Amino acid sequence: LVTVLHRLALNITLTLFVLSAISAVHQIRNRLHLVPFVQVPGKTPQFLTCVRALVNLTTAVCILAVDFHCFPRELAKTETFGYGLMDIGVGLYVFSNGIVYKVRPTDERRLNAARVWKVLASTAPLFLLGFGRFFLTNELDYQLHVSEYGVHWNFFITLAFVKFAGTLIMDLVHDPEVIKFVAITLLCCHEMMLHLGVSRYVLSADTERTTFFAANREGIVSMPGYLALFLASVYIGWVVRPSDEITLAKKFLRRAGKVAVVAAVCWKMIYVCEDMFGISRRLANMGYCFWILAIGSSVTALFMFFELFVYFVRFEEPKSPDQIMKTDDFCIPYVPLVLQAINANGLFFFLIANLLTGLVNLVFQTFLLGSAAALTIIGYYMFMLCVAVSFLYVNSVKLKIW
């Protein structure tokens, strides 16, 4: 859908959606009387596994596919304003990190010097990956677009700063109902700053990269936007992640509906922001943040509805809380093994994808290859990635660096 079939993507998506809807209605129409009894386990939501794995999987395909001629240019990253498929990458990574952030009670985390050092130590591996990527690409003379993040800045450093600052803010503001207002305030201040001349400074081709700030102005200036996106994602994660061991279907449906409403509001805000400010990944402005929140919330809501559908269709008999605590098979696993494996070692999956992408670009002149050769290489590349993470997952190996 992102290469030779991209022009049919909408038709294929709508066809699959209609067929899925018809099938779903056919399966649940005679089971509506079971609604009061259906329960969904809340300890490890499987829909979050699907969301996070899908972000990794889509990113892995696109970072290699974009180097081939068969990849449509309208899906590539935009230079200043606008949106393409590859613009969602860093934003959805920030979103997927935010929705799994665990909000702790006030007495569990206190912001002091020891806490700051602990958070810094937990983000240090991401900083090291960022520095390592810079030195490696510099030594290999690998092609880089400095207009994305800057000369020294990159994806990993952005994630590290967002994780560091976002965690400290969450230690100060423990109430998720308050954090959404913090996110909105930060986003408005960021947009105001951009309109006071910062956006012209960042996007101008005449601005020389003579200082560290000027050389990395895209990465530095976009930080408040990504931080606001992270905090908003934390709020959405708090909404969708129940604190109870089990959740009744009606309560779970209300949560999914709330996320769907958030998505609808964000989609509406995209049109407002596009007319007023434009949408820019390089600036991480208000339009971009609402765009990412709209996509992330929509996908999350869809997977929540699907998880509820799975438990509804496969429900057999009412279970009391006591029975649930004693029943090992109450959780109905529906997530494919490869998605579970990708979610379990998401950063490793992304790192290997980057290394293999670099290797392919060093070995082949990718833009000169035809569609058949491109699809073959992408197919082998994805097969190797999925086999690697599946092997680790089957053998209970989890490579966590923070």
Query: Nearest 5 degrees, angle CA 209-CA 76-CA 293?
Result: 90
pLDDT along the chain (402 residues), means of 10: 66 83 78 71 83 92 86 81 86 93 67 83 88 82 77 89 92 84 94 91 84 89 95 92 77 91 94 88 92 94 90 66 50 87 90 89 83 89 93 84 52
pLDDT recorded at residue 35:
67
- pLDDT of the residue at 45: 84
pLDDT at 328: 47
pLDDT given for residue 316 in this prediction: 64
pLDDT at residue 327, as a whole number? 44
Instruction: List the domain boundaries for the chain.
Output: 31-327
With CA atoms as reference, report the closest residue to 103 among 158, 186, 172, 51: 172
> What was the pLDDT predicted at 401?
54
pLDDT, residue 9, reads 73
Please state the pTM of the whole predicted model. Answer: 0.88
